[in-house]
Structures are given as structure tokens and as C-alpha cells.
Amino acid sequence: MSMAHASASMHTSTSRGLRGSSGGFHCTFRCSSSRVFTARVKSARALASRASLPSGKSIVLTGGSRGLGFCLAREFALRGDHILTCARDPLRLQRAIQAIKNDVPDANIQGVVADVSTSEGIQALEDAARSQFQHVDIVVANAGAASQERKPLRDLEIDDILNTVNANVAGGFLVARMALRLFADAPRADERVYHYFSFGFSDAGAMLSQSAITHKVTKLMLPILDELLRKELSKESPELERSVGLHQVSPGLLLTDLLLADTGAGVKSLVFNAIAEEPGDVASKLADRLREETTANARIEMLPLPNAAMRMLTTVPRVLMSDESAMRFFTRDGMRVPRDGAVFKDNGVEELFPGM
């Protein structure tokens, strides 16, 4: 099935930043194979805990069917935001949205089956955003890719290289373009009320990363793109520039399929116990940072380098001495530490919903 030839038909409830009629809505995924997946979202009373939260924001989040993207979508839903997300796999996207609905019965969330590194996919997402929202407050460019194996460039498969480059570079440009187009059509403001976030590497981050060179280089490109976009906006669209923020996010080491691929017991026990985190724990803090951002160009680091160094210094010796209290995630031999209610895949990644 071609993920580029995907569209979404959506009927949304009326609220801040949304188009549509009152009541519940259906989230329908139509793929080129004519299969139709529908996730019914019911009307429900707002959660009592939302009384003190700011009114919901309209958010476009790419890559919302796994890992940090899924966890951010769930956190935004808990805060009463209105979310449009996308993924390439229609079944996983359906399951992710249903899982969020199970946790947050009145969630305002819809999905589009789309590959945002293609012209068809990014257009489907932009069209869906315009259909769902009167304007978009936040775009989170979370979708990306890394080479399947940690090998030197000469040993990587050509298709593997192209997949990473297309997802991170073409996808980075296309999602940024979409965000600026959506912000340009929103009401003008004299303060920064529209925000775009992407997940690039700093020089230090690239140096510390164990991923393949394709992942490092393509992630280093994203902060450069932001910097040049700010200059372009200042010159070509100063009015728009005054109301837009372009930001970089460094979530730290997250226990995802990407991080745990081809990882040995020593790294798991010594490094990950010290400085890695579950994506859900990071998302619960990061969601507020993204929603509350007001600056022009923030660099949001969930684990600054000095903090990471201190945690390594204090944790590694304890692990080497077999101190069980230091083994947050993995035993000394790299086995996953059980946790009540959690289900883990064979690679040690927590299964956030069935079929993830």
C-alpha cells in the first residue's frame, strides 16, 4: 500500500481553534487499498483536573503512533488540547488513537495516514489541519528515521540511507514549510503565539550519539534549517516573524526501538540506567514546556550535558558494585527490570499499547 496516497475524512467538535459542529467525531483513515479504519471519539465531560489548565491548543504532531510522539499526543489530550497526528502505518495509528481514547475518554484527536517526506503525504496532513482547525497554535515535527543498523556508511544499504535522509531532511523541510504556511494564514499577533518544534542534534549530541552517520548528519541539519528560516522570515515576512517561534528540542536518551537496537548489556546497564528515561516520563514534562513556550528560538534540553555527566558519575560505580537501587531499567547483564503493570517487548521497549 502506498502511504503517500492517503487522506482523512474528519468531523470535529466545536472548540477553540476547531471547525465543525458540536458532538463527537469520527476519525477515518482511507488508504489507497480502499481499507477504511474508523476510530469513534465520543463526547464526554471534561476531566475535573482540567479546570485549572489553560484553554486547549490546536496542535499538529507528526509521528504520533509510537514512542515519544504517542506519549506527547496522550499528554496533550490530557491537557484538553486538540490534536492532529499522522503516521505511515494505518493499523498502528488506529491502535494508538484508540489507546489514547481509552486513557482520555474525551480526547480531541484525529489521525491522517501519511508519509510527511512525500508531497502527497504532507499535502494530506496540511489539508487535514486546515479542515480541522481555524488556526494552528503548535506544530511538533517528531517524525523521523534512523538507519536500521549501526554500521559504517560503506556498509549501509542504499535503501536504508535513502529512508533516513528522506525522513529527516525532506520531511524536515516539508513539515517546516507546512507549519509556516499554516501560521501565515492565522491571525497576526504582536507576540509569539505560534510555535514550531523539531528534534535536531547539537554538535555535542551528535558526538555522543551511537547512531549511524546518516542519522547524525541529517539531525545536525535541523538546527541549521531553523536558523536560516528565522533570517528568511525577518527579511521576507517581518510581520509573521513577530508572531512565530522556531525551536529545537533535545529529549535526551529515550528507551525506544531506535535507542535499544543493537545495544549490548554493558551500555544498557551502565549508560541507560544512568541517563535514559521512559518516553512517557519525558513527555509528561515536555508537553508543558512546548505549550508554554513564548520565545523566538528556544533550545529545550530535557537532560543538559552537565546533568548527564553527573548522573553517570554517581550511577556507574553503583551499578558496577551491583547496587540494585541503581538499576532503574536494566540488570547488570542487560535484562529488563520488571515493573508492575508494564509489558516489555523482546528488545526491552515498553509496549505502550497492544500492537505498538
Q: Which residues have C-beta within 8 Å of that of residue 72, sequence separation ≥ 6? A: 61, 64, 140, 142, 283, 286, 287, 290
The domain locations on the chain are 7-44+53-263+276-303
Please give the pLDDT value at position 55: 67
For residue range 311-341, list pLDDT tens digits in order: 999 999 999 999 999 999 999 999 999 999 9
- Looking at residue 53, the DSSP 8-state letter turns out to be S
Q: Specify the 3-state DSSP secondary structure of 251.
A: coil
The mean pLDDT of 218-227, rounded to a whole number, is 95
Q: How far is CA 27 from the centre of its chain?
A: 20
Lowest mean pLDDT among 17-31, 74-88, 170-184, 339-353: 17-31
Dist CA 235 CA 228 (whole Å): 11
User: DSSP letter string over 66-128?
Assistant: SHHHHHHHHHHHHTT-EEEEEES-HHHHHHHHHHHHHHSTT-EEEEEE--TTSHHHHHHHHHH
Segment holding 325, helix H or strand E: none
Is the CATH number 3.40.50.720 carried by domain 7-44+53-263+276-303?
yes
* 32 pLDDT higher than 60: no
Q: Specify the 3-state DSSP secondary structure of 49.
A: helix
Please give the pLDDT value at position 206: 72
Question: Does residue 190 or residue 107 have the better pLDDT?
Answer: 107
- Looking at residue 12, the DSSP 8-state letter turns out to be -
Question: Does residue 53 or residue 39 have the better pLDDT?
Answer: 53
Dist CA 19 CA 110 (whole Å): 13
For the entire predicted model, the pTM comes to 0.85
Q: Residue 42 — very low, low, confident or very high, per pLDDT cuts 50/70/90?
A: very low
Residue whose cell numbers read 507546512: 178
Sign of the CA dihedral with 44 first, then 7, 258, and 176 last:
negative
* 47 pLDDT higher than 50: no
Please give the pLDDT value at position 15: 38
**25-30 and 36-41 strand pairing:** antiparallel
What is the rounded average pLDDT for all residues in the chain? 86
User: DSSP letter string over 157-223?
Assistant: -HHHHHHHHIIIIIHHHHHHHHHHHHHHTSPP-SS--EEEEE----HHHHHH--S-HHHHHHHHHHH
The mean pLDDT of 47-71, rounded to a whole number, is 78
Cross-strand bridge partners of residue 254: 277
Dist CA 176 CA 15 (whole Å): 26
For residue range 62-100, list pLDDT tens digits in order: 999 999 999 999 999 999 999 999 999 999 999 999 999
For residue range 259-281, list pLDDT tens digits in order: 998 889 999 999 999 999 999 99
* 5 pLDDT higher than 60: no
Please give the pLDDT value at position 16: 42
The mean pLDDT of 225-242, rounded to a whole number, is 95
Sign of the CA dihedral with 71 first, then 74, 76, and 81 last:
positive
Question: Does residue 147 or residue 336 have the better pLDDT?
Answer: 336
